[in-house]
Amino acid sequence: MHPVYLSKVFRQFHHQTIGDYLHKLRVQFACQMLANDEFQLATIADAAGFADQSHFTRVFKEFTGLTPGTFRAQFPNKTRR
């Protein structure tokens, strides 16, 4: 299957690009990891498949309206002081 055709068909059925779909999945994964403050943001960015922490922050804010740090601050954790 040609990549251009795959991209076109994917967009028809999912109403978003393959890249946007992957970013959404990565952000959802990151949200689960951010609820636990054991992991540093750079570690989460890497585990979620982002190129670096800056890219992670930019995409995360685009999808959620919050930075990863602000999102994490919403969760009460016993280890946070």
Q: Are 67 and 74 within 8 A, CB to CB?
A: no
Q: What is the pLDDT of residues 45-69, one digit of tens each?
A: 999 999 999 999 999 999 999 999 9
Q: What is the pLDDT of residues 13-48, one digit of tens each?
A: 999 999 999 999 999 999 999 998 899 999 999 999
Can you give the CATH number for the domain in which 36 is found? 1.10.10.60
- Residue 37, in any domain of the structure: yes
- Residue 4, in any domain of the structure: no
- Residue 2, in any domain of the structure: no
- Residue 20, in any domain of the structure: no
Give me the number of domains the chain comprises: 1
- Residue 65, in any domain of the structure: yes
Show the domain range for 63: 25-76
Q: Report the alpha-carbon distance of residue 11 to residue 8 in Å, rounded.
A: 5
